[in-house]
Structure 1
């Protein structure tokens, strides 16, 4: 029997087709993709909160081991983004969205079971943390699928909305998880609570809810994808050109995205535990969600500014602001002669998240310029396979920030007992990114032949 959601022909770059039929279908699929991606980002980042709550729940892990748990979803997520970006060029979007969303049940349920027993082996916890990287992979497949649905003149807005709303899932996870673990959301069905001591007060925690709370949303989003999205045919493949992996400009672009989005997602993963180690007397989980929230909301603004002033200049100044905010934060950290200021560090990192969001948004203005080559003549619609490779590569390298930032902070704490060394490395990295951005995308205005 023919699938009612299958479409025989698809020509979004034809204005008549777009207005008569394509626009409604594309936007319907976009608004189903958004909640699926939001849930995926939430599952990807739940360990950033869970690691703060594991020691009170009886898990005797060292600070380094906790940072590694927070970092594992970033490492696996980078690999999965590369793979998912390639798969999305061969599997239609509706089926892939449903499958990738249902796959999130494995880490969500696994986490809910594992945290109920403090004797759960550490390698098992590492495996479950790594499986949360499935949420990161969904980004590459979702963005690649959308490149097929929208015409060139609306593609930037669609990708910006999809990625920006997806980033809100990070903030949602850091806001939601600290609340649901204090409530018996699922009753006896989810298991017994743990009695823990937090800042001198004994209280009950249902730590398993950090994973179980995502299960209903995962199932609902998968159902919407299955019965609401469409199967759109792939365009004919063009003759193979030079692989995107062999082109220098895409690797430089990936390094820049590591600086912008990598900082956003990296400090999302690390900041709760980082702030807790520096200011243990503060209930940091009440406030840490604000950083990812600012970053996610700033992302569309970064795209708008890039449309007005160019992606290169906006990204350049975003890096400058990020480096400055890290330098400022170092002045508020506790030391041998001072107790430090949590609010000073918090304010500095809010600026960093804001700048990272701006830079992530402006980066997506640079990407289409490079793909289309900024040729004066009308460029043909690019192969979906090439777009998938670019998105997969850039987003995969960017996702490595979720691994690199927690690991570098853990190494600094383990070797010197402080984080100044790691923060100094971040500042130097932002200076390198500023230089690359100026040379490749400010000086030459994104000339693809630099």
Structure 2
């Protein structure tokens, strides 16, 4: 009895694409836009790299937010820092993280996505281990603590390299989905850290805070992340940096306009996420630490959690209605909610305060998504360029704007700290934020949503 051989099956087997991988896990033939390649080996490989990229970025955000959490415990633990010094510890990570996002954007092309994910993950060990020792000694000088706060900025830089890496793995039609997952995974790290760290440092307290655990608990997770990146991720020889495109972008006025909008939206998200635990402690101390068995938790984690989950909806609404319209609405709502915070603070009602801030976080998340969605739309319409040149500038602008926007995470805590130190109240800073949000709303409307502009006509 003769067996039948399917010539088509033999042909498909012979022509099925495979990865050309050289030592160091470098892929030389990455072609995600080719349907056959993507369906056979590309999608699965990209998914593995995305998974470990999210893991590393998640830990980066967790480390980035550590000082936002531990600052509120330092006075009770015996550290004698001034109010101004405490706010510097809160804001320094954002200053360094925002600055590092610029060079981190180009590291993937220089060293490889896998290689840089390993290196950037291992760099997180420096602040994690350093904090474990520094927090064990209440005589640790403020300068040393400020240096460690700066080193947690490594985690903020990870966002830029992680996004730059993943964008090379996916075809154009799926970049938005992949980058959205990557960004959301990172942002959630801020919420998880604000939930877990208070539990870790109090669950075994036995009458005293175990602050060193704030750093210790992340060490094994960082090592697992670095190992996973080493074993499963890949480098792409096709990944190229575009320094010339980035330099060309700096000359475009729309880069600076949208960057200012991103300072107002993402900067508000990361800034309020960093300062929210201290705001609760200073304004409603009775609700700052809630019992959970033998541990305590703080409801501050709800803020970044809500903001992270709201971000994808901002992008979806922008796709349907237009990024500029959603950004205008988001900034107007942020101004309104902030005004309500100022008006209701004298009522000393914690649950009203919490509800308003959760609404504020949700609105910043929506504004993050809609503003980010505006970038390719604005550059695609031509900012002195067309076709491939506009696309090139758009890709470079995404990295630069994400870096500039993160500086809001430094400005907001500094403004609140200055307000408390000089006026004895947070209200003056909130009033400044209201004015800023209204100003940014008008800028967005005038440039992108006003009837008669080419951007409004194309639904940017």
Give the TM-score normalised by structure 1. 0.89
CA distance in 2, matches of 1:156, 1:445: 24
Q: Does 1:233 align with 2:237?
A: yes
Structure with bigger RCO (C-alpha 8 Å, 6+ apart): 1
Q: State the match for 1:67 in structure 2.
A: 87
Q: State the match for 1:200 in structure 2.
A: none
Q: State the match for 1:135 in structure 2.
A: 155
Q: State the match for 2:414 in structure 1.
A: 407
Q: Does 1:121 align with 2:141?
A: yes
Q: How does 1:54-133 map to 2 (within 5 A)?
A: 54-133=74-153
Q: How does 1:273-422 map to 2 (within 5 A)?
A: 273-283=278-288, 286-334=298-346, 340-373=348-381, 379-380=387-388, 389-422=396-429
- Residue 85 of structure 1: how far off its partner (Å): 1.2
Q: State the match for 2:220 in structure 1.
A: 216
Moved more, 359-368 or 233-242: 233-242
Q: State the match for 2:47 in structure 1.
A: 27
CA distance in 1, matches of 2:165, 2:317: 26
Native 8 Å contact 2:270 2:409 kept in 1: yes
CA distance in 2, matches of 1:369, 1:361: 13
> What residue ranges of structure 1 are gaps of 5+ in the alignment?
185-192, 196-202
* RMSD of aligned alpha carbons: 2.5
- Residue 436 of structure 1: how far off its partner (Å): 1.8
Q: State the match for 2:17 in structure 1.
A: none
- Residue 281 of structure 1: how far off its partner (Å): 2.6
- Residue 55 of structure 1: how far off its partner (Å): 0.3
Distance 1:181 1:240, change over 3 A: closer
Q: Deviations over 1:74-103 (max 9, x none)?
A: 111111111211323322111111110110
- Residue 115 of structure 1: how far off its partner (Å): 0.8
Distance 1:83 1:448, change over 3 A: farther
Q: Deviations over 1:353-389 (max 9, x none)?
A: 00011111122321222344479x99449887x5664
Q: State the match for 1:263 in structure 2.
A: 268
Moved more, 352-361 or 285-294: 285-294
CA distance in 1, matches of 2:150, 2:267: 17
Distance 1:86 1:276, change over 3 A: same
Moved more, 6-15 or 260-269: 6-15
Q: How does 1:4-23 map to 2 (within 5 A)?
A: 5-23=25-43
Give the TM-score normalised by structure 2. 0.87
Distance 1:3 1:358, change over 3 A: same
CA distance in 2, matches of 1:171, 1:346: 15
User: Tell me, what secondary structure is at the counterpart of 1:60?
Assistant: coil
Q: State the match for 2:431 in structure 1.
A: 424
The one of 141, 150, 159 equivalent to 2:179 is: 159
Larger relative helix fraction? 2
Larger Rg, first or second structure (1 or 2): 2
